[in-house]
Amino acid sequence: MDHRTFKTEINEQLARIAKAVANPHRLEIIDLLAQGERSVDALAQETAMSVANASQHLQALREARLITARKEGLRVYYRLADYTVYRLVQTLREIAQQQLAEVDRIVNTYLTQRASMEPVTLNELLTRLREPGLVILDVRPALEYSQGHIAGARSIPIDELESRLHELPQAQEIVAYCRGEYCVFADEAVEILTEHGYHVRRLQLGYPDWKLADLPTETE
């Protein structure tokens, strides 16, 4: 066996994956598709890109076989080829947190209230999942909730929260969660609910991390 050729060819395939995700827009697309299937138009709107630009990034991810697509009428819908693709985002996030001081600086600059919020870990939430006095609140968009959510969670999208406060029991503890560690929906929910006298904490990570850990989920 030609060991040098073997190693070179294997590393070329690994580099295909690395090249495909070496773009901030594509990382965001993977993060969004970890919440559930989306059309090109929806992805473009969510990422503030043109449809043409979003399509180019999707094509690059598809060529690396990180995502797949299906057509329904005139619309094309994309999803992760396998949910473990999200592990790329997890790993990059963990390495960046450990090695790049800029990550902490950015978090501290933009997420100024997070330091005062008491987080809930995945393991802690798992042990309390069926606790009758706990409300698990999914503040992602309703479409994402319908495609998958933490078992037993109720849905109130962040942009509807203030108008639907009456649906939440003020005497019970609430754990709010959203898309992931750098998603701000749960932070906003904690601020709103705290201002109205609720006892609320934020899940440290998000739904994709929970699902990738093979913890209990539900779909509608």
User: How many whole angstroms separate alpha carbon 52 and alpha carbon 50?
Assistant: 5
List of long-range contacts for 149-152, beta carbons under 8 Å, 24+ apart: 149/207, 149/217, 149/218, 149/219, 150/125, 150/177, 150/207, 150/210, 150/215, 150/216, 150/217, 150/218, 151/216, 151/217, 151/218, 152/216, 152/218
The CA angle 176-179-181, to the nearest 5 degrees, is: 85
Q: Looking at 34, 178, 193, 200, which residue is catalytic? A: 178
Q: Are 89 and 31 in contact (CB under 8 A)?
A: yes
Q: Are 117 and 187 in contact (CB under 8 A)?
A: yes
- Residue 183 annotated to the active site: no
Strand 200-203 to strand 149-150: parallel, antiparallel, or no bridges (unpaired)?
unpaired
Known catalytic residues are 178
